[in-house]
Structure 1
Amino acid sequence: MKLLAIFTLIAGMFTHLLANAGETGTAGQIPQAQAIASQWLALLDKDQFTESWKQSATLLQQSVPQHQWQEAMNNIRTSLGTVMSRQLKSAEARSSLPGAPDGEYVVIQYETRYTNKAAAIETITPMKEKDGTWHVAGYYIR
């Protein structure tokens, strides 16, 4: 009887570990996705729009041609002005997003202040590519 109780306890712990393994997949990688997002935003902050496109996810590159990306970012960033401050608002791991294929994503929002816009919300979405690396798949400012 004691052996059965120990086996049940071990089996329960193993089942719990397996059940929670999926939860820590993307959620556990939020810091890595945030680091990629910060590096990528630094490119935008330095007006390196072509390089930001080159370092973005294949999904973004296939959706927006490089010249359109560069023109759009130049227009948007010129009208907003220089980044004065940027504070992390939230970061959430997701496995699906509207209009995007299922995968591993982290939706990150920053409260950002520009010289010409006092309060903006930047949303940046890194995704895990097939090769296991994280790249930015989406970006918009509200």
Structure 2
Amino acid sequence: MDKINKQIIHILQKNARISMKELAEKVHMAAPSVIERVRKLEESGFIEGYSTTVSLKKMNREITAMVLFKSKDCHGLYKFCKEHPDVLECYRVAGEVSYIAKIATHSVEDLEKFIDASMAFGTPSTNLILSSSKKETIEYHEVNE
């Protein structure tokens, strides 16, 4: 991965809707060359896709939590989390807990229902998310825009 590809990824992480012309200007290259680089980054798996970030608040899902599980039924918990509409992310982890699920619910009552239902698969421990200070991106500190 060369410096220009790192710059392209960095810029796309900040704004995936940027035009190829504007992206080319930012990395000081011709648009066809940048289009080809982006295509190669996609094909090689460096860029896995593009997404839209939706406001949980606007979607009336203001209660967010990380629920840690000491699971006695990993396969059942995996299926439960995969199918539950409030689960945003779910990770199998090593350590004292076996799974961590990030959930977003409409109310404390919905959170309680989730916790109650999940107890069939192990022991949950819930941590409410008060705020977030960093979004998921890879930072390339040597990149200058």
Structure 1 length as normaliser, TM-score? 0.25
Higher helix share: 1
Structure 2 length as normaliser, TM-score? 0.25
Q: Which has the higher contact order (CA 8 A, sep 6+)?
A: 2
Higher strand share: 1
